[in-house]
Structure 1
Amino acid sequence: MRFHTRKWVKPEDLNPNGTLFGGKLLAWIDEEAALYAIIQIENQRVVTKHMSEINFMSSAKQGDIIEIGIDVVKFGITSIVLKSEVRNKMTQEKIITVDNITMVNLDGFGKPLPHGKTKIEYVKDRILKA
């Protein structure tokens, strides 16, 4: 799992129990998945089609630093399927896992568009090719 983003849990991120609100965490995961897909597919028109079962394993509290990990499960014709894990940066304790997040590549009319990608590419390698 590659961990790309860190978030600091602040008071505005908490639920009435004083722990990280699940909806806030899912929004962060969705944003991270979209950014990852945009970079891989090289198109800003990407939408979330599906998120599989979400497994909350532990909680985070105010002041915790969490990190969001994303990896590719597979490349489809118009989609990329990702998985995510969020963990506490300091303790390494898993907070949540999402096994499948399907992101779909779109054309200018909002229709699925083949992206032609079959493997993970790194921006640094693209720059070297250019």
Structure 2
Amino acid sequence: MTTNMNISNEAPTPNEYLELRAAAGLSPKDLQASQIALGNSIFLTTLRDSDDQLIGMGRIIGDGGCFYQIVDIAVHPSRQGQGLGKQIMSELMNYLDNNVPSRAYVSLIADVPADELYKKFGFDYTSPKSVGMFKKY
């Protein structure tokens, strides 16, 4: 595990968010939309190195009652393979375990091979009973 790292629940700046997404290979987002999205997070966690550079993050979004979604799990490529994704998920799961009402539905969209990480936290595939769908604008 990496040392000299700061774990926080403070949102990154929209520019930091966009830079980390790009570095981690996630899809690009609009700057103004990113500012709105970060402000509307139910919960988020960030990892920063000793130079205060954003090296990882994850968010929970949703309606705060029945439905929650884990999004934006990202670790900078220079820091991947050090257990940071697992640390981010542990922070998010701790929040969910202590704050989500019973019978709530928590979902995520998993890129392969990250699905193996999410399985370790109790997530399972929805198919064949249901499948994930999306529409991109």
Normalised TM-score (structure 2): 0.28
State the TM-score, normalizing by the size of structure 1.
Answer: 0.29
Question: Larger % of helix: which?
Answer: 2
The structure with more radius of gyration = 1
